Structure 1
Amino acid sequence: MPNNLPTILLAAMALDLGGAETHVISLARELHRRGHRVVVASAGGRMVPMLTERGIPHEVVPMASRNPLVMARAFFGLRRVIARYNVGLVHAHARIPAWLCSLVVRGRGIPLVTTYHGTYAAGFPWKYLTTFGQRAIAVSEDVRRHLEGPLGAPPEIIRVIPNGFETGEFRPGVDIGPLLAELGPDLGGPHVVHASRLTDEFADTAVALLRALPSLNAQFPTIRLWILGDGNRYAEVQRLADEVNARLGRPAAAAVGHRLDVAAFFNLADVVVAVARTATEAMLCERPVVIAGEGGYRGILTPERIPVYAAANFTAREGGTPLDPAVLAADIASLLGPERAAERARLGRAGREFVVASLSIESVTARILDVYAEVLTGDRQ
């Protein structure tokens, strides 16, 4: 792909904790590294410095709200960004940015690519506020089926391209010294780490883990559970953690809020409980992963299950069962203990090997650039 592409606008809801947000940052940085002109627009967030420190401009456009007045401001904000940077291609991530961008580029000859990172409500009126652009990227096969089915996207415009990962950022051997100094000398162990938004149904996994902790504590009396993330249920999760700690008579659980040193926590972990991007980042750190979160529960991620679970972006949207603290505790317990160290290492190696081979940001960006070439040349194939 030559470097004479027009300026690319990546539009996202916000740049806070989340898989779609992190992918947008990784994609922007890789496009910039390859010499392409890229600007990112979003409602902002704590990860914006990850762009600006690389010299990638970020413009605040409030695309994280359904309020009609806010969306009107976003519309005019997008128009200003496109004019200021002479944008020639727009790549929108998620439904609200896609819909707003479709209105802004209408009649201007600017191609629009959209990426759908999950499944969305398809009833009235949402189906009619869903747009796809000249190409719609689905991050997994189950999302592709959702786009074709309930949302009604033309199959010929869909491309399945998973999210990409910067494999050097999440890796085994990350220095955890600063983290250990912060957390204190008496950490106990083994360590279970869960990272997720603590919003709405996404916080259900943290709650299930806290309910599972007393059972795990009976088998591993110095076990520690670290819950990373924040959101509208953070206070509830923190209160439950305090209650569990009082019941066990020690600091067994900690809800540590939003963190930027997730890779260090994963390197501390003996087991990571997560879905989607955080599950994949844990795989890159060579940690065994238990898939629990969006969609429910799918259990231990074994080498045999990796390609199957990848088809649903390492979520439980397909084949998942309801979260059960007893089942969760049993699966985690089966991975802990000194005698299971070799098995944890085997699972961890298999996870990293898959991600490096299939999901590196370099290979994913190359496939996205092919999509950009399609819309810029009008290729219908």
Structure 2
Amino acid sequence: MKIVQLISRLDEIGGEQSHLIELVKQLHKNGHQILILTSNEPFIQQIIEIQDLGVEIEPLYFMKRKFHLWKDFRAIIEIRKRLKSFQPDLVAMHSSKAGVIGRIAAKSLGIPTVFTVHGWSFSEGVSKMKRLILEKVEKYLAKHTSKIITVSTYDYQLALQRKLVLQEKMETIHNGIPTQKTTEKISNNTPLIIMIARFATPKRQDLLIQALSNMQEIPWKLILIGDGPNREQNEKRKNDQNLQDRISFLGVRNDVERFLEQADINVLLSDYEGLPLVIIESMRACIPTIASNVGGVSELIIDQHSGLLVDNSISGIQKAITLLIENISLRKQLGDNSRATFEKHFTIDTMYAKTIQVYQEVIKNAGNENDVSQINRYKY
């Protein structure tokens, strides 16, 4: 198959970017011809590595993260030119922005499309007026989308509740990552807590720092990995609470697996979520996660079995952290259960097999459609 993968940006690592990278690696490995279209921002190291494997990546000059009517129109024209040249069997899109302009460009050429939802743009964190507009946009575009993949059942159900998409057009395929061998976990004398997340909405490193500042009588250390606009104010919060010796800010890292292997507890506090890859990474590393019970998080963590789900209250967060710090055997049990759940449901092999099946079905069905634009989709 010839497949275009379209994503808004690849200048920072996140759930959408990690998903795309692992998917493209498998597609390329299995002989499919891939073209990645993205913004013209500098690429992260992981993208340079797959480019070195022979995957074609082309920057889009007018693709920007924020919506901008004139630039988005130019981006659609730009994408159409690339699609005409590459003549793909399918265009797959990741991120809300790419999903909008990508589907418009592909539809104008009669090319079948798959839009992967890593969290609906209208679900949380936006104003009511903006949410209504985005819902209408998604409802319109869904009619012109061959298939929509949601990475969480939460987003699948949300679309049905809002009557945005016909059920037969959607499928949930959970994120997956490569399997890695684990060594036997040895608990640190001072429990090591880790949170890996961008310092921006919807992540709540501030809640974690506040909770831990109230727990200075018990031993712990915290590592925060990531960068973003809220980092400076969180570093100030650490200094204000005199936690300089207990909290480390490490910035963006390409070796997060190494830190997860060393950690005793993973924490992810958020106001809203899709299906966080960092939790799957902690499951693979055999460590328990304390996470906000939002979005698709409960599809990863069974409370008290493979981790702890919390509301975003300081008292609830403190209670969960204290429980795992003081109970090494519980940490091990939850970590072992997490690993077992990962191996059963969240490997790259499982995700890839389901995704490639969707791609094949979409291309097959496109060939059977009577729509003139589909029949003549290569007569650009």
Partner-residue secondary structure (3-state), 1:109: coil
Deviation of 1:152 (Å): 1.0
Partner in structure 1 of residue 175 of structure 2? 163
Instruction: Report the secondary structure of 1:216's partner residue.
Output: coil
**Is contact 1:302–1:347 with CA below 8 Å preserved after alignment?**
no
2:135 to 93, 118, 127: 127
Match of 2:338 among 335, 351, 354: 351
Tell me how far 1:304 sits from its aligned partner. Answer: 6.2
Q: CA 1:54–1:274 in 2, change beyond 3 Å: closer, same or farther?
A: farther
With the length of structure 1 as denominator, give the TM-score of the two structures.
0.81
Deviation at 1:288, TM superposition (A): 0.9
Structure 1 residue 271 and structure 2 residue 265: aligned?
Answer: yes
**Partners in 1 of 2:233 and 2:284 — Cα distance?**
30
The answer for the alignment partner of 1:326 in structure 2 is 315
Contact 1:25 1:50 in 2 (8 A): no
CA distance in 2, matches of 1:295, 1:109: 34
Q: TM-score, normalised by structure 2?
A: 0.82
Measure, in 1, the Cα distance between the counterparts of 2:213 and 2:296. Answer: 21
Classify 1:53/1:366 alpha carbon distance in 2 versus 1 (closer, same or farther; 3 Å). same
Q: CA, structure 1 residues 344+54, in 2 after alignment: closer, same or farther (shift >3 Å)?
A: farther
Q: Separation in 2 of the partners of 1:160 and 1:268?
A: 32
The range that moved more, 65-74 or 346-355, is 65-74
Mark the CA change 1:67 to 1:173 in structure 2 (over 3 Å): closer, same or farther.
Answer: farther
Task: Tell me what 1:172 maps to.
Answer: 182
Unaligned runs of 5+ in 1: 175-186
In structure 1, give the amino acid aligned to 2:284: L
User: In the alignment, residue 153 of structure 1 is paired with which amino acid?
Assistant: V
1:184 counterpart residue number = none
Task: Measure how far apart 1:94 and its partner are.
Answer: 2.3
For 1:228, which of 225, 228, 234 is the aligned residue? 225
Which among 238, 251, 255 is matched to residue 249 of structure 2?
Answer: 255
Q: Which amino acid aligns with 1:269?
A: A
Task: Quote the offset at 1:100 in angstroms.
Answer: 0.7
Q: 2:158 aligns with which of 146, 154, 157?
A: 146
Give per-residue Cα distances to partners, 1:263-311, cap 9 Å, x unaligned: 111112110002721111111000111113856997x9457655xx9xx
Instruction: State which of 345, 353, 366 in structure 1 corresponds to 2:353.
Output: 366
Q: Is the contact between residue 155 and residue 296 of structure 2 (CA under 8 Å) also seen in structure 1?
A: no
Shift of residue 40, structure 1, vs aligned partner: 1.5
Give the percent of matched residue pairs that are identical in Structure 1 and Structure 2.
Answer: 20
Q: Which runs of 5+ in 2 are unaligned?
A: 124-130, 270-275, 369-380
Matched, 1:25 2:21: yes
Aligned residues: 341
Helix, strand or coil: the match of 2:174? coil
What is the distance in 2 between the residues matched to 1:94 and 1:36?
22
Are the structure 2 counterparts of residues 116 and 305 from structure 1 closer, same or farther at C-alpha, using a change threshold of 3 Å? Answer: farther
CA contact (8 A) 2:195 2:267 kept: yes
Kindly report the root-mean-square deviation, in angstroms, between the aligned alpha carbons of the 2 structures.
2.8
> Secondary structure at the residue paired with 2:67?
coil
Q: Secondary structure at the match of 2:54?
A: coil
- SS of structure 2 residue aligned to 1:347: helix
Distance 2:294 2:77 in 1: 34
Q: What per-residue deviation string (whole Å, max 9, x for no partner) do you get for residues 235-276 of structure 1?
A: 1112212223xx25x511122221111111111211000272
Cα distance in 2 for partners of 1:282, 1:67 equals: 37
Cα contact 2:211–2:315 (8 A) shared by 1? yes
Query: Counterparts of 1:293-312 in structure 2 under 5 Å?
Result: 301-302=301-302
C-alpha distance in structure 2 between counterparts of 1:107 and 1:200, whole Å: 34
